[in-house]
Structure 1
Amino acid sequence: MLPALASSLTLLTVCASVHSQEVSHSPHRVQLTARKASHDSPLRRRALSAANIPLNDFYKGTDLQWYGNISVGTPGQTISVVFDTGSSTLEFPSTACGDSCRNQHKFDTAKSSTFVDTGYTTTLTFATGVGVDPVQGDNYQLQLRSGHDTVTVGGLVAKKTDLYVITDQTETFAIDPFDGIQGMSATAQGFFAGLINQGLPSVFGLYLTPNAIGNAELTIGGIDTTKFTGSVSYASLPSDSGDTWQLSSPQISVNGKTTSTLKRTRTIIFDSGTSNVLFPTSTAEAIYALISPDIQPFDDEPGTYGIACSKIQSLPAVIDLTFTSSSGKVFNLTIPSSELSVGPFASDSSTCQTLINAYDGYDLVGGSVLKHYYSIWDIGNQRMGFASNRH
């Protein structure tokens, strides 16, 4: 999810219920210090420890979105949220939301002794929706009212956290198995800012996994070394990144080949609230041209592409996104061929939708990349890190 306008967010979420699996490695949380403090400073005396939050996976033939529980209010009410690196705010349904919120848990502000209604109302219009298809028009919209309350994540407590309660939403949100969105942007805001002010390192780690693997988790205030192997490749955010998690990429290649369109420097956004890949039309079509001429735009859903389902399983479609580490070493993040198909189109079950959507104005990757790597999101040092997932 990304802020498209001052009053709107982009949401592309995909989720599946995950079957918990036990792993042989016991959790080992490593706190990464994003700032230094003397041994006698108040910061060091009150430092918080990292916490792990289990994540579920919303799955509908493909991995759509990972989400976990937080607690809001006093006493706490459990709310499930997408931890979204593409947005910055916290929003979830309240009891003021009627039938349109029937499938989500509704927060009762009257039952929280610490809730404060700050009275600001706004509308958020989303440019993409929960799933893998581009959104047309205003069919993903939230009506919000501002407030603040105590928010607890993984046992870590942040008081007076700014938030929005949903008072109405379009019917398209009814499919969501989660309640709301917790923004995890590249500048700490909301509950994370509150925890950092209490001494928690401004770092988090994401272990997103395919549905068949399960055991996904978010680590707040550090990383979980049992979830990855080998060394971590770190790359710095561009100086003008602001709230956006993004890295400069000099090249995209497909099955080891590239073209003039793909071999140019671009800034790629990393959005854990997105399932598909979004590239400008020229980039999407250059990638597909290196996979198969049979991949064509699907007219029923503008921005999508498809191919006969009978052909897609045999197509080689290894996509390498190239980056340069902080030490000057080139590394690739690879999307394997298994990600190419996201399932049949509803209007034509013989045609399978392909991974990349055309979306002019964005170069953006989401869960289809992140679930193949352990990702480290380091706000204090304005960098991202990637290592091989331990499955």
Structure 2
Amino acid sequence: MKEKISITAISSLSPLGETTHEIWNAYLNNDHYFSLMKENGHKVWVAPLSKSAKLNVETLRKSDQKYKKLDDSVLFAILASRKAIEQAGWQNTSNFGINMGSSRGATKLFEEYHQEFLNTGIASTLSSPTTTLGNISSWVSHDLGAIGPEISHSITCSTGLHSLLNGVAWLNSGMVNKFLIGASEAPLTNFTIAQMKALKIYAKAEARKEITGKELDKEFPCQALYLEKEANSMILGEAATVACLEPGKVSNALAVIEGVGYATEILKHNTSISTNAECFQKSMKMAMGPLALTDIDAVVMHAPGTVKGDLSEYNAIKTVFGGSMPLLTTNKWKLGHTFATSGLLNLELAILMLRHDTFIPSPFFKNRVRKGKLKRVLINAVGFGGNAVSILLSKNE
């Protein structure tokens, strides 16, 4: 990196809540935030937004006629962006860039419009403009009155951290001096869940006893970072996370981006990465740069709750760190896999842990005894196709 980058705000809507206080309190308890919903006549585990966040989304939808036809993914991003801008003190500026990513985009709205077309043979007037991927960033830009560049992209489940990479690149280029990055995902639709089930990676509502070891609590349907599980346990969640980035180390920074790393593996299968996740090995090494292995205190893993996914990432970390293993954790056992947003929720967890100097563990993984304060945390994300991203975050000292 040409210059370190400060994160001056981060805001999210997720199953854990929408304020920093309630999100941190949710991390401090040992509960999960899953519930069972009916999908094609069967019960399935999902992680919806918190009740307060859902209420605010509906309030926004009803606040203006133009919002009524927008997908949840757009509304999530608008709300999170408003709060981030306020937190960073950017209300009086419009000259900043925006990059909003999403793996699936306007999933619910697209499915509804397509079903309507199948039924009538006619496409609705707004079916195209309200379901394009650029719909998210353009509406956020419109809502905030921003005049800088606006970008949308999809790089599957590492999309959120790729938004961060883009923000860092723009800031380091000197073309802008403020950048809003984020991701939004509203994937709790029948078709999206059916796609995950077709891959045989989704948690089964009736099979918790099969995937839970005797020594573990049977109330955890997703067992991300339980390396001895014999069945996949991924569960989808919905969320949006937005962060404000500024160049250099500024006094109001929540945390500082010290390094970024990225890598892609050559595909052997549409959904898999190698046994030792070579893409993660490369991305983590790149993000750490010349730092000693012992300088990394913790890693917030991607760990989606699948048998091969969790284990391959762990193998990559073990290969890179050897006998200097940092603390390992994941948040997907608590709030599910939010596709594009998952990497930025990992970033949020890392920021909260650094600011509170408190490590939040997974109930399924036994770490070494921690020594010293949390100063640097590595954040991982990867998507279909082995496109890994790693971000090195440090405390603003």
* TM tier relative to shorter chain: under 0.3
Q: Relative contact order (C-alpha < 8 Å, sep 6+): which is higher? A: 2
More strand by share: 1
TM-score (norm 1): 0.26
TM-score (norm 2): 0.26
